[in-house]
């Protein structure tokens, strides 16, 4: 029996091949790129702010920014409906 040239016992190589199949790039292919990129880090205060739950005021503000003639959710209701009832709906949307 001839050896399979595509077979490998190397787990990292197999994982890279699987990822390459699904998204076109393996993590090891990106390493040189990320070595060149200077990443920014968040301080503890910014992390704390990002981890806080949304407020109903923030949800209402986002609702008012949506274009009114499109249904943005699977319920089929347009943003105009959500804008009309934002005060009633925002507290319920917090639970999602």
The number of angstroms, rounded, from the C-alpha of 40 to the middle of its chain's C-alpha atoms is 18
Distance CA 79, CA 26 (A): 39
- DSSP 8-state assignment for residue 80: H
- Which residue, chain included where needed, has tokens 């209402």? 60
C-alpha triplet 37, 41, 43: angle, nearest 5°: 170
CA distances from 64 to 43, 44, 83 (A): 31, 31, 6
Answer yes or no: pTM beyond 0.85.
no
pLDDT tens for residues 17-42? 666 666 666 666 667 777 777 777 88
**Largest Cα–Cα distance in the chain?**
71
Residue 1 in this model has a pLDDT that exceeds 70: no
pLDDT of residue 58: 92
Q: How high is the mean pLDDT of the chain?
A: 78
């Amino acid at each position: 029996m001839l050896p399979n040239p595509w077979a490998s016992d190397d787990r990292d190589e197999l994982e890279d091949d699987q990822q390459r199949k699904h998204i076109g790039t393996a993590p090891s292919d990106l390493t040189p790129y990320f070595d060149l990129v200077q990443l920014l880090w968040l301080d503890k205060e910014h992390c704390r702010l990002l981890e806080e739950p949304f407020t109903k005021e923030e949800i209402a503000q986002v609702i008012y920014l949506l274009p009114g003639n499109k249904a943005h959710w699977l319920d089929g209701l347009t943003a105009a409906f959500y804008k009309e009832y934002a005060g009633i709906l925002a507290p319920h949307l917090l639970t999602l």
